[in-house]
Amino acid sequence: MNISYLPALAILSVTGLSACSEKAADSVENAGSAIGNDVSGAADRAGDRIDNGLDDAGRAIDNGVDRIGAATDNAAREAGREAREARRDAGAAMERAGNDMQR
């Protein structure tokens, strides 16, 4: 009689192992999906940070170019003022020299 129980016990054991294997496979699949989602999320966040960094760098470059342009304009205006002043000074000096020669 013990022999007739062995096939039934073997079938139950295989069924139990099969169920455990299915649960283990589901757990592994869920863990793999979670890891994939984490990696995907991290990659998306890294991409967003890179995009934001590039945007910030572009704005900084634009601001720098604007400041350089403004400084160049200011320097050109100042150079023009200095040139006009030097011309007036030279004219005044020539006029004084001419007056001195007439005396």
Cα–Cα distance list, 55 to 51, 52, 61, 62 (Å) = 6, 5, 10, 11
Mean pLDDT of 32-51: 89
- The per-residue pLDDT for range 66-90, each reduced to its tens digit, is 999 999 999 999 999 999 999 999 9
pLDDT attached to residue 98: 83
Give the DSSP H/E element, type plus range, for residue 103. none
If you compute the radius of gyration of the chain from its CA atoms, what whole number of angstroms results?
44
**Burial class of residue 41, CB neighbours in 10 A (0-12, 13-18, 19+):** exposed
- Output the pTM of the full model: 0.49
